[in-house]
Amino acid sequence: MNQSSKSSNNSNLTGYAAQAKGKTGVMRIIKAAGYSRDGFLAAYHNEAAFRQVTWLNAALLVVLVFMPFDLVVKMVLVLASFFSVVVELFNTAIEAAIDHTSTERHPLAKIAKDVGSAAQLMALLLLALLWAMAVWQR
């Protein structure tokens, strides 16, 4: 994308959005890391489910250090833990966006929130299944 295309894409943005999109290079990476930190902190402070998933996976990762699993098994379990945290971050983001739009009960809002919750359930079931398989193998 050439420079004129970039500036025309960003010319429609105002305020905070224009400031956030105007960064390039190392400064963009630094800003993105700050936004990611802010996202983790917001999810942790505002969403009990995120705190629960975070602490569950932290405990599982500590246990994993002491388990005599093969490296590949440990890698899969770490991946499943991170996956469940990522799914909860998406679920939290969906809920926040819906609540920002409207706090009224609406069938589509319920569907979106329920689907996010179902995604998290699947991630946690995967985590439980993989742990059960790893323990059973031992």
35 in a known ligand binding site: yes
Long-range contacts of 66-75 (CB under 8 A, 24+ apart): 67/134, 67/138, 68/138, 69/134, 69/137, 69/138, 73/134, 73/137
The whole-angstrom separation of Cα 104 and Cα 14 is 28
The band of 7, judged by pLDDT with boundaries at 50, 70 and 90, is very low
Instruction: Determine which one of 43, 54, 81, 88 is catalytic.
Output: 88
- Asked whether the predicted pLDDT for residue 9 surpasses 60, the reply is no
| Predicted structure pTM score | 0.82
Q: What share of the chain is helix, strand, coil (3-state, %, to 5)?
A: 85, 0, 15
The amino acid sitting at 129 is L
138 in a known ligand binding site: no
122 in a known ligand binding site: no
Task: Decide if 88 is catalytic.
Answer: yes
* pLDDT tens-place string over residues 115-124: 999 999 999 9
| Domains of the chain by start residue, with CATH | 48-137 (1.10.287.3610)
Query: What does DSSP assign to residue 67?
Result: S
